[in-house]
Structure 1
């Protein structure tokens, strides 16, 4: 099937012919069907220059039209045309009311878009184009309307009926049914519509805004999960206060609601006043939730709340502008998390994700700018590029302008565009107008794809005391963009003298922001007594790859003396990566692998420095992941990467065994569990030490892990020990814990997902057979995206040594799963495809097998748009 005719281009954007002033909806929920009645009040758009334009509505191909009338008069079939998802109604007046009745079957909606059932609860997901599965509508983000929604259902089965805005009326009807009407006074596009109906319970609280308004806060879930909602509520209140203090943004409705849903394609959705969340992003309890999951809950709750302004009150004109709301909001939630926890650790975690996954995306067949030029299926562009790289671009604007001017720019942006659907150009223009800065060259970040590469060199003139730092920038070719123009970017730089002291620079500080605008540029520092060691890209001031000819001694020097947390961590990563490359070269030559004593010295110095933040020590001493090493490689040797990393882990464990044991004992937390930054730091370092000790595979290390598993009062420590034992060579102990862990937590769906994930990522041989067996496990539900990601997604993306088995069995397995999911849930299917898309970076034998798997998928005659786009671009 060819989808090439369905490509949508940014250059083809046209304003809507009609604006929608009022949307009135009624949902009648019945066991076998749902009737949706909509009354839409249209008016001609004065910005549309087309003469007598027809009305264009969008509705999914499976949507059943029951009735259609214009100004109260039924329309004959000859008055409208329907082709694919498009309905055209010609000959409409300047202003009119269109009434539409549709019949939908939520219980059969496995795509989890539009209105569907999640374990007996009705819920919606309308971003990006789910609303067209509900009714015929101008389903585009630049058509904004005030909504009034009435939901009617059986009262016993669905006692809770929710929608956007404030509740304004309710009542009962005959036959045990009831209804609630919700009114949202703020115009919004259809993608922000939400409806939930179910047998739910909730916790509630109140928040008083800076202006003194009282806001009712409610978080809904199934009764069994009521004890897991308090942390999300506390996170919400912290986010609301932070947004007032940092951005001056108050909440605007009388009530703010969150609902936890188990079947959900995404993490969460910022629907106006009624956020629908994946359970994994809202439920949190010490006994069932790890530290990382607690932090994810806090970050996602904040993210969706911040969308109330950066996404809802000001939304995107078209889906090419998706990063307008997502990049800005990811930046905002990252800053919130940094202020709430450890700023340096948060920065390191974000950079690690960017370097590993987003850089790989930039280098792959789906590479696109943060403002794409075209797409076939918009769901494929909810990417790390749009979100994470988009956030980095906003961060660079803040760095270039400074905090005060950036705040002035955001205030102007919100004031100027409140209630509008706008573009990334509008955002940048607000920043320019507020600051007086010209950002025209900077905007290339929005239109050029790929990861820029910087090459640094330097020269020191001892006679004059002049130090010159030179940098060249280039950006590799990406699909459709063979040539790139120079970027404008901030480079945060520090200089460190031989005594370990930082040099005071021209701005009177120890870090200076240099602005790179040319392909090649030099920066001069005067008055130095000796050649310094440069500390480059502090705080990761630009999302780029960079190189400087550091020696191992210089990297160890930076690890010891650099005051910038990111730069210190990055020095450790560069040091270890360099050594791992040397070991891989030795392996290829058939030489015995040897642990460099310098690395042991560097690790020991960090490990025994009690003045350092334990969280940062854990980050510095964590070996680069196999995924990051693969991203760095021009040709990925999966087996070499895995073998060398395992060797290094075991060798460092043996060389530093006493230090690891001392560290493990020194960072035991006492008292009841708390997800605060300090406690998390101690647990992270303690469990890193345990992971090194378990690499020794001694009876003593197994005893330590088993004791931790049995005595843990929190899921962080229990899961750390559990995972280490399961992934070890202690098969009897692993089998024991697998049975015990499932027995304890079989009624906790999110914990069972971790049980699946830990088995899926077990690097020992035979992983695929184990995964296939787990597909038949009673707890595995193929309809649930969380289960699919936990088992299939983790095996294919994280268990590289087994997924990339030489016989291609992993590739065939993924192709089979994609074809099964292609019609059931196209969104999830296309996202699970990612491990096959980088096939050109592997050796020829694996390339052939990966390409065959892609061709097997491509041969399917009924591919969804989602899957077709990814596969066709991968094979191009």
Structure 2
């Protein structure tokens, strides 16, 4: 489907619908080629709106009949609208239409995958099933009857509770489902297919029994135990932490390999991408296990934050997504256990934010957490809405404390259960539940986080008066995309040169606040004076990354080394290691010379690696260099190849200088016994894999065969995917001589495991570029018999990884990367516009590129924009990217 002239939707234009739909009764006669849908709606006029026709939305549908109170009525179609003259009273509307699921390659609405039926209705997929008021503020109670061939589709699922099921004539059967909770159409779901289930009955704190089911295709049942355990843990946690119970008789999770998203929170019937659901030690890494736990939790937590209380309109998307990401983060940190494991979780969250959201904030698709306008809503399922939105929710908890935040959540549900509401409603509940908090008097300023795009920059400078024992800290904020100062909570402490945590007593305070406090930066510039500071301190600012900002504090290497050695905040210890590496890389890139790591830095990294008290997982994070995307964000003009060369040189020198230490780390952190996806073991494997990567890199440079040989043996013999894939990555990323043999062996062993083959493609697309070999290999992989654009996982594993995540391979002086990008965006757009739009985002920051990359990127964008057949999804992104050149 190619779309017409795109319409810009504005938040301030919101109006309630002219009609409400109270109940929906749907009957599906399922057939891959032509499914018949009969819909009966109880329609009520909205007395607050002017009278007029009923306008329903539908796409790729064939209307057959329209009845009002059982009598046929006339209707007309205008584009995607079905227009019906409706009486000035409540009435029953009956619609009959067909759709073609097997032709639905966009994977939005009702479609087929692997011989089964699935749905994806968020954001606007329900209109591809039947004509409807497809908007989130129209909430109805649904009853659904599914009819299908029993042999082909023995499992028939829909939202809610199962009312009845039975056999029909002609080898068919039916199932009738009822969801007692009003919901918007985007939460509707049906599934029909030949599936098997892992089942578990649980009794919740209220004493009610519930049936939990995880449905997958035959052959994958053994990979569902972790997902089931994660679901049970999520149910227990949400009831204990926020007093939010499971509210249906059953909760179902279904896995499908063709899915545009990670998962979808349809009420009581969550549909998951198999990559976010299936795991076994043989096929999934520690990162996969962790991701599955988080996503299962995320979708379950949506049952309240998104389903029971939903969005009034799509501009409020972060109301559910940002809040639920925050909740799944809190869950994951609680599940991690130790303080160190919690800190590693936070470090990984911030890495992701800086690698994806910060560039988005600075790029052509920059938007606020609550946007003011959009053309295609699918393009606003972004890191800003999700990750930055979660940071905003985290700042509520920082300002209110854990207990105050819980009070705000309780008031939010008390006020709004069963409603479609706004971000303002959430903010008001938080403030009203905590009338004595700093938030209550600064609420309007805090809400600028929702309305102002861009990443705030905080500058900090400190001065110590030894004679007066006073330390003066001046904080200032700026944001080129914002007009007014934001309320920024800065969690901080002061560290003595011998590592002591210093008492914090602000001028005017009667006594010290302890050794950590939260400063509220609410003006363009503020001064904070600490008294009774007995030694010259090093400031430890933004502890735990208390706000999503860029910090410029001008700390020297000795001060950063003090924080790295002594800071009681694990996040800021990690941050010190990152900044030490970042300073050296930036000096080389900006100076136009080859990077040479100094002795002090190398010794600091050696000290981290050998530190007897630091956890292995923390060491693995602290020893990683900053991501290329984050490095690029520090530069006004970006030379991707200069960044790539400096990062690779840094890795080479770390591998060479710490050779003996890496050998010790690899041997000392082997995990004995069977595989367990627990934080302690995962940390040991992470550090051992990093050490192996360094050893293979150094051995490849010197031509020594021992470590590449050991890595190849580990590829063949490891008893879990984390170690097997870590060894394969070590060979591929080092361009070792055994890499091709290892890749061949790995593919042959796992050719029948689609998710593992995705890893195989991804690894080759993400490998550090060397002499154009990675790019050329990726081009050849497009012709591999196992590659297809029709499967989102497979397309992402190669093209999105190459173009969006591997700047060293993508940005080429000969423009080959941009030519490939434009070709593949166009090809993918003809199949799946949502997926194509994700790939198109590779050019968000093209205006910051140095020449010749900038000019070549502009040519590629212009050629793509000239295509008349682009979807609205892709056209919006390409148009905004080109508009960025004139700003």
State if a TM-score over 0.5 links the two structures: yes
How is 1:356-375 mapped onto 2 (pairs within 5 angstroms)? 356-375=355-374
Distance 1:41-1:713 versus aligned 2 partners, 3 A rule:
same
1:475 aligns with 2:476: no
CA contact (8 A) 2:260 2:792 kept: yes
Q: What corresponds to 1:839 in structure 2?
A: 846
CA contact (8 A) 1:356 1:631 kept: no
Distance 1:584-1:565 versus aligned 2 partners, 3 A rule:
same
Instruction: Report which stretch shifted further, 37-46 or 224-233.
Output: 37-46
How far off is 1:135 after superposition? Answer: 0.5
Q: What corresponds to 2:423 in structure 1?
A: 424
How far off is 1:484 after superposition? Answer: 1.4
How is 1:589-668 mapped onto 2 (pairs within 5 angstroms)? 589=593, 593-668=595-670
Distance 1:81-1:715 versus aligned 2 partners, 3 A rule:
same
SS of residue matched to 1:412: helix
1:795 aligns with 2:802: yes
How far off is 1:593 after superposition? Answer: 4.0
1:146 aligns with 2:150: no
For residues 547-606 of structure 1, the C-alpha deviation after alignment (integer angstroms, 9 at most, x for no partner) is: 0111111111110000101101111111110011223345x25xx543200011101111
Q: What corresponds to 2:73 in structure 1?
A: 75
How far off is 1:727 after superposition? Answer: 2.6
Q: What corresponds to 1:546 in structure 2?
A: 551
Q: What corresponds to 1:42 in structure 2?
A: 43
For residues 174-221 of structure 1, the C-alpha deviation after alignment (integer angstroms, 9 at most, x for no partner) is: 110000000000000000000000000010002211110001000000
SS of residue matched to 1:632: coil
How far off is 1:31 after superposition? Answer: 4.1
How is 1:160-559 mapped onto 2 (pairs within 5 angstroms)? 160-341=155-336, 342-436=341-435, 437-438=440-441, 439-477=443-481, 483-506=482-505, 508-559=513-564
Q: What corresponds to 1:480 in structure 2?
A: none
- The counterpart of 1:576, out of the listed 577, 581, 593, is 581
Whole-angstrom CA distance in 1 between matches of 2:3 and 2:468: 67
Q: What corresponds to 1:773 in structure 2?
A: 780
Q: What corresponds to 1:566 in structure 2?
A: 571
CA contact (8 A) 2:496 2:538 kept: yes
SS of residue matched to 2:368: coil
How far off is 1:808 after superposition? Answer: 0.4
For residues 773-811 of structure 1, the C-alpha deviation after alignment (integer angstroms, 9 at most, x for no partner) is: 222222112210000000111111222222111110110
Whole-angstrom CA distance in 2 between matches of 1:237 and 1:5: 44
Whole-angstrom CA distance in 1 between matches of 2:641 and 2:12: 45
Whole-angstrom CA distance in 2 between matches of 1:652 and 1:774: 32
Corresponding residue pairs, total = 861
SS of residue matched to 1:503: coil
Q: What corresponds to 2:728 in structure 1?
A: 722
How far off is 1:393 after superposition? Answer: 0.2
How far off is 1:772 after superposition? Answer: 2.4
Q: What corresponds to 1:694 in structure 2?
A: 696
SS of residue matched to 1:168: strand
SS of residue matched to 1:505: coil
How far off is 1:700 after superposition? Answer: 2.2
Whole-angstrom CA distance in 1 between matches of 2:138 and 2:453: 29
Q: What corresponds to 2:811 in structure 1?
A: 804
For residues 695-718 of structure 1, the C-alpha deviation after alignment (integer angstroms, 9 at most, x for no partner) is: 202322212312322221000000
Q: What corresponds to 1:866 in structure 2?
A: 873
Whole-angstrom CA distance in 1 between matches of 2:79 and 2:549: 42
How far off is 1:511 after superposition? Answer: 1.2
CA contact (8 A) 1:65 1:101 kept: yes
Instruction: Report which stretch shifted further, 720-729 or 851-860.
Output: 720-729
Instruction: Report which stretch shifted further, 820-829 or 130-139.
Output: 820-829
How far off is 1:636 after superposition? Answer: 1.2
State the superposition RMSD in angstroms: 1.3
CA contact (8 A) 2:696 2:736 kept: no
For residues 265-284 of structure 1, the C-alpha deviation after alignment (integer angstroms, 9 at most, x for no partner) is: 00000000000000000000
How far off is 1:5 after superposition? Answer: 5.6
Gaps of 5+ in 1: 478-482
Whole-angstrom CA distance in 2 between matches of 1:75 and 1:260: 41
Whole-angstrom CA distance in 2 between matches of 1:797 and 1:312: 32
How far off is 1:396 after superposition? Answer: 0.3
Distance 1:782-1:83 versus aligned 2 partners, 3 A rule:
same
How far off is 1:2 after superposition? Answer: 10
SS of residue matched to 2:310: strand
Whole-angstrom CA distance in 2 between matches of 1:760 and 1:794: 6
Instruction: Report which stretch shifted further, 617-626 or 741-750.
Output: 617-626
Distance 1:250-1:726 versus aligned 2 partners, 3 A rule:
same
Whole-angstrom CA distance in 2 between matches of 1:449 and 1:176: 57
Normalising by structure 1, report the TM-score: 0.97
CA contact (8 A) 2:584 2:595 kept: no
Instruction: Report which stretch shifted further, 90-99 or 810-819.
Output: 90-99
SS of residue matched to 1:640: helix
Q: Which portions of structure 1, spanning 4 or more consecutive aligned residues, are displaced by more than 4 angstroms?
A: 1-5
CA contact (8 A) 1:55 1:92 kept: no
SS of residue matched to 1:862: coil
CA contact (8 A) 2:715 2:746 kept: no
Normalising by structure 2, report the TM-score: 0.96
Q: What corresponds to 2:671 in structure 1?
A: 669
Whole-angstrom CA distance in 1 between matches of 2:722 and 2:634: 30
CA contact (8 A) 1:145 1:187 kept: yes
CA contact (8 A) 1:474 1:484 kept: no
Instruction: Report which stretch shifted further, 321-330 or 608-617.
Output: 608-617
Distance 1:2-1:254 versus aligned 2 partners, 3 A rule:
closer
CA contact (8 A) 2:837 2:873 kept: yes
Q: What corresponds to 2:63 in structure 1?
A: 65
How far off is 1:3 after superposition? Answer: 6.6
CA contact (8 A) 2:123 2:186 kept: yes
Whole-angstrom CA distance in 1 between matches of 2:618 and 2:729: 22
SS of residue matched to 2:219: helix
Whole-angstrom CA distance in 2 between matches of 1:135 and 1:415: 33
- The counterpart of 1:103, out of the listed 83, 98, 111, is 98
Whole-angstrom CA distance in 2 between matches of 1:3 and 1:367: 25
CA contact (8 A) 1:613 1:681 kept: yes
